[in-house]
Structure 1
Amino acid sequence: MPSPSQPSTGERRPRAMVIDTAWRGLGPGPRALSGPGGAPLTRTVKLIVLPLIVRPALRPELAADFLDAREAEQLDALIRESGAVLEATAQWFTLLKKTRRALGIVAGNPQDLYFQRCFELATEHGAPGPGADAVARAVLEDVVDASGGRTVEALKEHLADAARCARLDAELAAAWEGRAAAPGAADTGLAAEVLEACGAAEADSPAFAAMVRAGHGSLLGRALWAAHPADVWDRADVPPHLGLTAHRVPPRPEVGRSASTATLPAPFDRTLFERLFTVLQASTHREQLPTVPELVRREVDRSCAPLGLYDESLRVTVVLGGRLAVGLDPLGAGTSVAGPTAAHRIVNSRWQREASVLRARRMTVSPRPDPDGGVLNALAQDLRTPWAAYMRRLWVRLHGRDVRDAALPDAASAWGVLDGVARSVMMDHRARVRTALRTLSAAAEPAAEPRSA
């Protein structure tokens, strides 16, 4: 028998769609973990549903992007069976947010910091009951203690000292002047070899180690300092820096004293504060980070290093990411680098199956004007230049690894990052399309007519 919340079809279904349908079937209980339309938040899926309920490592049959009917029913059942604990998780999260406000805690994203803690509390205690306020306060204090002062507020306080800022600015100027530009750029032929191997089962290639030894990431970074290298990606219609800076040549980093996720500039154009702000905001295990003074000290040199990264394996992954990014073709328009690799075929086939992409593809060929005033057309435009969002997210992820000294030892680990970023960008675009469609649908609903007397 098919699950009550899942359609009885023999077709393979996207795992994300199965999760969405099962979640909505839980009703309003886990509302605090859901978006405005009732779907689970992206962080809910990432931090709770997949690692704590689905557990793909123990259930490899549920790890695929597309599931057969039997696997879809199994996943649906897992989520439905977790309904009570998910409702309790939502209640604990609401209580922790209320207690957080009362304690005046503002650092960090509550979802990143508390989602998994709340699931643990719900599993152990059920819904909040007598004594829950004390438990919530203890959890919050434990999270704050674990951060060891590694917070945005601590960073802001550290950079509020005028004398310290002046010294850091002088150090940035000296480090920037000491850069060594170099002609030429990375060999994208080797990058293509690595990406071709990434499509194989083992996703390994000795070319990755060769690129690291030869410093191909450093070559690209230094070339971008000198001037834009021509045709480095075999595409004349994309900038060589792939949107990592808004300038012809990356500018010298400034110290900065504030940041906003809504207005962050391109990665190479960010201040010292903005670079570390993103690291601190995204960190769920801050105890693994250096202290704030050490973070700042290291970031001075890192921000003036090739591609804004220390580790060469991470720089090489930028080269690989660029080679992959310029071949992304979600609309199936055929605009790509010459000779796409196995990695391109894997990512593009996934993109082109997306319903939101199919809608955008129709819009790109439709002679009719955009009926919504430009919202969906803007989302379709993102699919015409997918390399921009991809490279921005890739750099942020690699920068976070660099701060933690987490190098990528081989092609397989690099592919894990490259493919993960592609999935993340795709899911983010899907969510934005759904939000836009819900907004347009709500606006199109006619107001209820008054009943006649």
Structure 2
Amino acid sequence: MPPTSRPTDERRPRAQVIDLAWRGLGPGRESLSGPGGAPLTRTVKLIVLPLIVRPALRPELAADFLGPDEAGQLDSLVRESGTRLVATAQWFTLLKKTRRALGVVAGNPQDLYFQRCFELATEHGAPAAGADALARAVVEDVADAGGGRTVEALKDCLADAALRARLDAKLAVGWEGHRPATDAVEAETGAVTLALALAADALEACGGPGPAEHSPTYASMVEAEHGALFGRTLWTHTSGIWGGADPPAHLGLTARPVPARPEVGRGASTATLPAPLDRTLFERLFVVLQSSARREELPTVPELVDRETGRSCAPLGLYDESLRVTVVLGGRLAVGLDPLGTGEPAAGRTAAHRAVNSRWRREASVLRARRMTVSPRPDPDGGALDALAQDLRTPWAAYMRRLWVRLHGRDVRDAPLDDLASAWTVLDGVARSVMMDHRAKVRAALRALPTTAVEAAEPRSA
């Protein structure tokens, strides 16, 4: 069933309107949809919003919640694009097939080809005679646009023994140079308490009725370098900064008590990537190169390696202070996430917490699965649902990991967050992304269960 939401003065979530309109288009869009039939996150981000909805030209459709007239307009836009979307899906399937035939492996195909496929569908319709040659030209053009900014180029660069030795020495010097002196640790730990209090004020402004950009708190935090202070705190054995023993100070950014000096590294796999602050130079840049839709905008691989060597030794593994402050805001938000509604988080709640938690709890499409994950009955699938329950009990871990990756990508591209409104857009977007990922995992787990097992796992009313 498509997700539903409680109406607020007849206003509906924009995401829900898109979802329902998408499902009404019929078959043919499978390569652009998830297993449950909803549009993929990247489909919405790369195709539906920028190319169909175009909020910059239709500001009335830019809000998260839409009135009846706006919801109807959005529904019509998506449905009117149905034929083009089917053709887009067909082009995407053809481009992936061509990509495999050419041996291209760099980059995420959705990031690289989704918008190009929509352009092809708009100009040519569905693939027809000559489509194979056109697909080959597009794949080669996208590959060439990277200008050697590929994982293969990164491997070749870091295979040089002399360069690896120089990088290792540079890491050693940079790591020691950024760490705080022993007598400064206590003072900086106290400053972090102030930073977290200011972060709460900023988050109150983000979720409040006034525009977030009018809050001076964010700018003052950046000026005072509270992000760097927080990052240096993670290099100590500090605990309890969130008001209790759990969660840990680093919120899952490292799996160690304190992060260790980065290594150069020789390889990476998306399935086994460690926590962000535990990654090697290779793993950090592997993620950047794999996820970049426009690799031509990145520095060259040698430049990426050189800059990442210094960045990985900086507080929070980031250079830009506005991005480090956003990590502080994200941590303050993350420890207050409570999708299960189990009670008041230790860190308390701000208007931003209430907005995010309320949205998460409105996920009616997975409400039954949530009941299953917290049920005292045995897990009918041997552990998958229990693991999903743990995700809901500690949502800060997935949140902080994804937030860091997004901020790291901005840091590599020299794209700071200039004001609180911009920072909140990222913070809120990460929360939505984590929520949608969890929804997809729950649905997949439920589909894998026999009907009898699902019914058995359901809590019964007394």
TM-score, normalisation: structure 2: 0.89
| 1:47 positional shift | 1.2
**Alpha-carbon separation, structure 2, partners of 1:295 and 1:244:** 22
Q: Does 1:214 align with 2:193?
A: no
CA 87–220 in structure 1, closer or farther in 2 if over 3 Å, else same? same
**Alpha-carbon separation, structure 1, partners of 2:227 and 2:379:** 42
Q: Which stretch of the first structure deviates more once superposed, 384-393 or 174-183? A: 174-183
- Residue in 1 that maps onto 2:56: 57
Q: Does 1:198 align with 2:197?
A: no
| 1:443 positional shift | 9.2
| 1:380 positional shift | 1.8
CA 395–443 in structure 1, closer or farther in 2 if over 3 Å, else same? farther
| 1:240 positional shift | 0.4
1:183-332 correspondence runs (5 A): 183=185, 184-185=188-189, 186=192, 187=194, 188-200=196-208, 201-204=210-213, 205-228=215-238, 230-332=239-341
Q: Which stretch of the first structure deviates more once superposed, 396-405 or 371-380? A: 371-380
- Residue in 2 that maps onto 1:449: none
For each residue in 1:37-82, what CA deviation from the matched residue of structure 2 results, as whole angstroms up to 9, or x when unmatched? 4332222222112221222333344344444554444333322221
Counterpart residue identity of residue 386, structure 2: N
| 1:19 positional shift | 2.8
On the 8 A contact 1:267/1:396 being kept in 2, the answer is: yes
| 1:236 positional shift | 2.6
- Residue in 2 that maps onto 1:432: 441
CA 287–225 in structure 1, closer or farther in 2 if over 3 Å, else same? same
| 1:115 positional shift | 0.6
Q: Which stretch of the first structure deviates more once superposed, 425-434 or 243-252? A: 425-434
| 1:338 positional shift | 4.4
- Residue in 1 that maps onto 2:86: 87
For each residue in 1:333-356, what CA deviation from the matched residue of structure 2 results, as whole angstroms up to 9, or x when unmatched? 124144421111111111111125
Identity of aligned residues (%): 77
For each residue in 1:233-291, what CA deviation from the matched residue of structure 2 results, as whole angstroms up to 9, or x when unmatched? 22332100111000011011011111111111000000000001111111111121110
Q: Unmatched 5+ residue regions in structure 2? A: 455-462
For each residue in 1:391-420, what CA deviation from the matched residue of structure 2 results, as whole angstroms up to 9, or x when unmatched? 111111111111111111111111111111
Counterpart residue identity of residue 34, structure 1: S
Q: Does 1:144 align with 2:143?
A: yes
CA 223–38 in structure 1, closer or farther in 2 if over 3 Å, else same? closer
Counterpart residue identity of residue 194, structure 1: A
Secondary structure of 2:270's counterpart equals coil
1:2-151 correspondence runs (5 A): 13-151=12-150
CA 129–321 in structure 1, closer or farther in 2 if over 3 Å, else same? same
CA 80–441 in structure 1, closer or farther in 2 if over 3 Å, else same? farther
**Alpha-carbon separation, structure 1, partners of 2:136 and 2:374:** 56
**Alpha-carbon separation, structure 1, partners of 2:453 and 2:146:** 47
With a CA cutoff of 8 Å and minimum separation of 6, indicate the structure with the bigger relative contact order: 2
Count of residue pairs brought into register by the alignment? 439
Secondary structure of 2:234's counterpart equals helix
**Alpha-carbon separation, structure 1, partners of 2:400 and 2:390:** 16
Counterpart residue identity of residue 332, structure 2: R
- Residue in 2 that maps onto 1:401: 410
On the 8 A contact 2:96/2:109 being kept in 1, the answer is: yes
CA 413–237 in structure 1, closer or farther in 2 if over 3 Å, else same? same
**Alpha-carbon separation, structure 2, partners of 1:162 and 1:97:** 35
**Alpha-carbon separation, structure 2, partners of 1:292 and 1:38:** 38
Q: Unmatched 5+ residue regions in structure 1? A: 446-453
| 1:109 positional shift | 1.0
**Alpha-carbon separation, structure 2, partners of 1:103 and 1:268:** 35
- Residue in 2 that maps onto 1:345: 354
Aligned-pair Cα RMSD in Å: 2.4
1:359-398 correspondence runs (5 A): 359=368, 361-363=370-372, 366-398=375-407
Counterpart residue identity of residue 216, structure 1: H
On the 8 A contact 1:376/1:433 being kept in 2, the answer is: yes
Counterpart residue identity of residue 192, structure 1: A
Secondary structure of 2:449's counterpart equals helix
Counterpart residue identity of residue 122, structure 2: T
Secondary structure of 1:226's counterpart equals coil
**Alpha-carbon separation, structure 2, partners of 1:261 and 1:286:** 18
